[in-house]
Amino acid sequence: MDDDRVFKALADPTRRHLLDRLFQRDGRTLTDLESELQMTRFGVMKHLRVLEDAGLVVTRRSGREKLHFLNPVPIRLIHDRWIDKYTERHVSALADLKTALEEESS
Amino acid sequence: MTTTTMQTVQVYQVFIKATPEAIWDAITKPEFTERYFYKARIENSSDGHRSRGPDGSVWADEPTYEFDPPRRLVHGWRSLYDPDLAGEEPSRVTWEIEPQEGGYCLLTVTHDQLDGAPKTAESVAGVGWMMVLSGLKTLLETGEALVP
């Protein structure tokens, strides 16, 4: 719903690292996620909160544990909205260049 | 203990600017699903979850566990179009539609009970459900089919 939040969430190496960890294996606990980071538990929680607010991480309770899941859908939507648009233009610009150069040489 | 849980639950969420009823129709009626769900014609009713491919072949035929329009749908999942996937144990898909502010709904799809279906888990993970949900959002918000 809010592209700004997704861009902000992605604009931080720790948060990208957390997303990569979840990409490798989904459904991790906070304890598991903080294990590789030189950061306080509170710091990791804050980052996870930003990711959750952006919709990139979804949490589920499983008994006494809170598990974190990667939700890749917002990244896909940004891809559809931004990346596709510009790569298409890039490709068509190259195609136009090719046509122009070939016309010139003939 | 947790290791199994981790590998066998997948959760996806998307905000869609549409009414719960419109989303419910889009996930339960074949004329909608064929426009965003890999061309599958899926019919979800209280009787079951049935999916057919464009050539009419049966892609899925599983029970419905919960049918509560327009909020919650729970059904079985087993892909019959691929012998490797068809040989695995059935898993479970839960659709939850929660109205939000500003005419939006939050749609959550949870695919779990994948313990006996590692190949299925891999085939639907990441891009699999992501394309379905982004396609569903595009269809409902713009009326266009995203995936050819």
- Among B6, B126, B133, the residue with its CB nearest the CB of A25 is B6
Which pLDDT tens digit goes with each residue over B89-109?
A: 999 999 999 999 999 999 999
**CATH code for position B100:** 3.30.530.20
The reply to whether omega before B148 is within 30° of 0 (cis) is no
A11 and A41 inside one domain:
yes
Residue B24 near chain A (CB below 8 Å): no
Residue B148 inside a domain? The answer is no
As a whole number of angstroms, the distance between CA A52 and CA A43 comes to 14
Asked if A66 and A76 sit in the same domain, the reply is: no
B130 in contact with A, Cβ within 8 Å: yes
B64 touches chain A (CB under 8 A): no
| Same domain membership, residue A64 and residue A24 | yes
What domain count does chain A have?
Answer: 2
Extract the tokens encoding B74. 């729970």
Residues of B within 8 A of A69 (CB-CB) are: 9-11
- What is the pTM for the complete model shown? 0.83
* Residue A7 C-alpha, separation from nearest chain B C-alpha, in angstroms: 16
Q: For residues A22 and A48, state if they share a domain.
A: yes
Range of the domain at B35: 2-142
Q: What is the CATH number of the domain that holds A37?
A: 1.10.10.10
Edge to edge, what strands does the sheet with B105-112 contain? Answer: B10-16, B105-112, B91-99, B72-77, B64-68
Is the domain of A50 the same as that of A4? yes
Q: pLDDT above 70 covers what percent of chain B?
A: 93
Q: Is A58 on the interface with B (CB under 8 A)?
A: yes
Note the pLDDT of residue B89: 95
Nearest to B72 by CA among B104, B42, B95: B95
Is A78 found in the same domain as A65?
Answer: no
Tell whether A46 and A15 lie within a shared domain: yes
Give tens-digit pLDDT for A47-89.
999 999 999 999 999 899 999 999 999 998 888 888 777 776 6
Q: State the residue range of the domain holding A101.
A: 72-106
| Total domain count, chain B | 1
Q: What was the ipTM of the complex prediction?
A: 0.74
State mean pLDDT over B127-139.
91
- Say if residue A76 is in the same domain as residue A60: no
> A71 vs B138: CB contact, 8 Å cut-off?
no
Tell me whether residue B147 is in a domain.
no
